[in-house]
Amino acid sequence: MVVMIHAASLTDHALTAELAHLAGREREATAAFIVHLAEFDARRLYEGAGYQSMFSYCQAVLRLSEDAAYNRIKAGRAARLFPAIVPMLIDGQLSPTTVRLLAPHLTAQNRETLLAAAAGKGKH
Q: Is residue 50 domain-resident?
A: yes
Distance between CA atoms of residues 106 and 109, nearest Å:
8
For residue 25, the tally of other CB atoms under 10 A from its CB is 10
- The structural domain count of the chain equals 1
Q: Is residue 7 domain-resident?
A: no
Judge whether 88 and 111 are in contact, CB under 8 Å: no
Q: Is residue 2 domain-resident?
A: no
Judge whether 46 and 40 are in contact, CB under 8 Å: yes
Q: Is residue 9 domain-resident?
A: no
Question: What pLDDT, in 10s, does the model give residues 25-74?
Answer: 999 999 999 999 999 999 999 999 999 999 999 999 999 999 999 999 99
The confidence score (pLDDT) of residue 121 equals 78
Tell me the pLDDT of the chain averaged across its residues: 94
**Residues shown for the chain:** 124
The mean pLDDT of 94-106, rounded to a whole number, is 95
Domain range for 93: 26-118
Judge whether 76 and 34 are in contact, CB under 8 Å: yes
pLDDT above 70 covers a percentage of the chain that reads: 95
The confidence score (pLDDT) of residue 21 equals 96
The mean pLDDT of 87-95, rounded to a whole number, is 96
Q: Is residue 88 domain-resident?
A: yes
Q: Is residue 13 domain-resident?
A: no
| Whole-structure pTM value | 0.89
The mean pLDDT of 86-110, rounded to a whole number, is 95
Q: pLDDT category, 2, cuts 50, 70, 90?
A: low
